[in-house]
Amino acid sequence: THLHRHRNPHPVQLLEMCKDVSEGMAYLESQQYLHRDLAARNCLVDSQGTVKVTDFGLSRYVLDDEYTSSAGSKFPVRWSPPEVLLYCKFSSKSDVWAFGVLMWEIYTLGKMPYERLNNTDIVQKVSSGLRLYRPQLANERIYSIMMACWNDKPEDRPTFQELAANVQDLLYDLQ
């Protein structure tokens, strides 16, 4: 089952999904892998409700933590940060941005990011500061994690290791 097939999940379940993905991505980050297509559609939920990150079709092994693709390459615009939209500059921090969008997908129960905008509008608006709104199911603390992932400057975004720890703290408070 894909993420958005789950109905009326409990807050702990939503956060557990974020935790599973952040831990999987922290592992990739530690191995210097970029995923480059992190999104709910590439996450699978097993019968225990554990989320696995899949679909490494676009992933690249990079030693210097950065991958600049050639012109005209395809990438998922709705999940991409300004530096990818403008300069095709991929790094583990562009995966972090995508993780923020994936959290948003989880907390909207599978809505399409920027649903009313086309790709051209998204490039223009996100580059000039537009961010996704706070989903109803996400409290301020959860939204602040998303917003941290969407920092304009890649170096100001958290690492996946930090994200996993933040999500763990929130889970701890819920239980």
Render 58-87 in DSSP notation, one character per residue: T-EE-SSSEEEPPTT----GGG--HHHHHH
- State the amino acid at position 99 in one-letter form: F
Active-site positions? 37
Mean pLDDT confidence for 97-106:
97
CATH architecture assigned to 3-174 = Orthogonal Bundle (1.10)
| Residue carrying structure tokens 């995923």 | 35
Helix or strand or coil: residue 135? Answer: coil
Its sign, for the CA torsion 96, 11, 19, 109, is: negative
pLDDT reported for residue 1 = 46
Which tens digit of pLDDT belongs to each residue from 110-168?
999 999 998 889 999 999 999 999 999 999 999 999 999 999 999 999 999 999 999 99
Instruction: Give the residue, 45 or 73, on which the prediction is more confident.
Output: 45
Helix or strand or coil: residue 32? Answer: coil
